[in-house]
A = this chain, B = another copy of it.
């Protein structure tokens, strides 16, 4: 990926991008529910101005769908584990369809007993977390989502890949406003960002990763061949480890290392589990949750601090008004790959 190739220069209607993305996926044999689910997430990311998690991911889905274990006909259904827990097996298809279907069951349980857990298993995962976690907040609930990836990240004090880039997303519902949502990798930078620096011939900050000898380097190619570093030193490393354990062994799915082994050189999206949690402020806390939370958010704007998600919501407004910005070179490439 090169920054120029995905920088947007035209605007399209959301419905046209949905049609193109769905056509692309269906033409490669993906079943209808998976194609619609993945298209929704990729177009939502593009709409919100995340070029790295938007349509740029589409050509790479061909590698993922070529993985010997990939299941183009996956049609997952949630299974109740207990009054609080739901499990859904993505059946080696894209994990977003399983997550989407599981979230409905998760919301139902959480509205009954105040807290719920959703374990999504065996999904090829290549999407941003915020488009789906927003749905939990739209149901009036607090949501948390996390997953391992591949063992690209060294723990603090280490020199070799062990942990995933392990993203964490959080959503808090707000009245008459889009939810407070953050979604980020617990690595210092995303792997896509490091690759983009390499492709543009740019140096990276020296706290993003180490070379194969375990020494810090500003050369992105060396970091991609060596190991990435977690954000925030030993504290960020501990949080990445929490995600590794909670969205891996806790739900009986692959760690980042096992997910990488499973890839066997296919260069597919990582295949692993995802953990989602939901909480009902109404049941757990009672009346005051909303006002007190709004006072925290007001404390950000009072001092000119940006709330995570603000940029996404601004981009979303512009997209609704003017169409979704996308790179014409990328569109050409996608069109040429429709079978």
Contacts and interface: CB of A to CB of B under 8 A. Distances in A.
B279 A162 contact: no
A293 B249 contact: yes
A184 interface: yes
Given A156-B305, A182-B238, A286 B252 contact: yes
A245 B285 contact: no
B119 A284 contact: yes
Contact of A232 (B82, B236, B293): B236
Given A250-B281, A292-B248, A295-B257, A113 B142 contact: no
A249 B85 contact: no
A303 B160 contact: yes
A180 B250 CA distance: 14
Residue in A238, A281, A289, A308 with the greatest tally of chain B CB atoms within 10 Å: A238
A84 interface: yes
Nearest to A291: B249
Contacts of A154: 303, 305
A157 interface: yes
Interface in A185-240: 186, 231-236, 238-239
Given A82-B113, A85-B113, A288 B249 contact: yes
Nearest to A253: B285
Interface residues of A, number: 78
Oligomer copy total: 2
Nearest to A306: B157
A283 interface: yes
B296 A117 contact: no
Nearest to A286: B252
A40 B187 CA distance: 37
B232 A281 contact: no
A132 interface: no
A155 interface: yes
Nearest to A187: B235
Interface majority SS on A: helix, strand, loop or mixed?
mixed
A235 B258 CA distance: 27
A128 B64 CA distance: 45
A112 interface: yes
A101 to B, nearest CB: 18
Contacts of A10: none
8 contacts: A82-B283, A84-B116, A117-B279, A142-B246, A170-B238, A232-B233, A249-B285, A255-B296
Given A160-B302, A251-B285, 7 more contacts: A82-B114, A84-B84, A84-B113, A115-B115, A117-B279, A168-B239, A255-B295
B252 A303 contact: no
A279 B246 contact: yes
Contacts of A114: 81-82, 84-85, 117
A47 B114 CA distance: 37
Interface string A74-97: 000000011111010000000000
A152 to B, nearest CB: 13
A299 B260 CA distance: 14
A158 B300 contact: yes
A208 to B, nearest CB: 13
Interface in A248-298: 248-255, 257-258, 277, 279, 281, 283-290, 292-293, 295-296
